[in-house]
């Protein structure tokens, strides 16, 4: 997780955000680090991490799509696609780093998509209750 360095609050926040967005990828990277440390190999090389990331990201995408098909999975989607990016954005704000317009747009799209999904899954009675003042 930290390659032997002390982490600040924003770095921890960023790491948690990335872990929520890509749980399988981050878990695979951490397992590789633990394996290397246990075998006294030291920290894994960046090319090893890149190779793991490239492979596991595909698994992560497939697993996320499969989980989205499960009933009641909206909470997981919110955590992965909204809370994770929000934590990264908060870490960027704490470090006074800019967030790219693409990341901002993606976050807005996810919020809109989840809101639409929530509205579609409410029944008629709940929708009528929402319309009344």
Mean model confidence pLDDT for the chain:
85
Task: With cut-offs at 50, 70 and 90, classify the pLDDT of residue 83.
Answer: very high
Q: Which tokens in the block code for residue 1?
A: 């997780």
The residue among 43, 25, 34 whose CA lies nearest residue 84 is 25
**What is the pTM (predicted TM-score) of this model?**
0.76
More confident residue, 121 or 111: 111
Taking a C-beta distance cutoff of 8 angstroms, is the pair 63, 100 a contact? Answer: no
The residue among 6, 59, 55, 5 whose CA lies nearest residue 32 is 55
Per-residue pLDDT of 15-67, as tens digits, reads: 999 999 999 999 999 999 999 999 998 889 999 999 999 999 899 889 888 88
What is the pLDDT averaged over residues 103-126?
80
Rounded-to-integer distance, Cα 127 and Cα 132, Å: 9
């Amino acid at each position: 997780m930290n390659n032997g360095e002390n982490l600040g609050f924003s770095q921890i926040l960023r790491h948690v955000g990335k872990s929520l967005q890509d749980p399988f990828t981050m878990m695979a990277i951490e397992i590789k680090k633990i394996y290397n440390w246990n075998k006294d190999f030291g920290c894994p090389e960046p090319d090893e991490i890149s190779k793991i990331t490239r492979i596991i990201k595909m698994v992560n995408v497939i697993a996320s799509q499969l989980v989205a098909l499960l009933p009641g999975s909206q909470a997981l989607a919110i955590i992965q696609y909204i809370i994770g990016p929000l934590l990264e954005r908060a870490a960027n704000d704490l470090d006074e780093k800019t967030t790219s317009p693409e990341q901002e747009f993606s976050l807005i799209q996810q919020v809109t998509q989840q809101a639409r999904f929530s509205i579609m899954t409410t029944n008629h009675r709940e929708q009528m209750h929402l319309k009344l003042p």
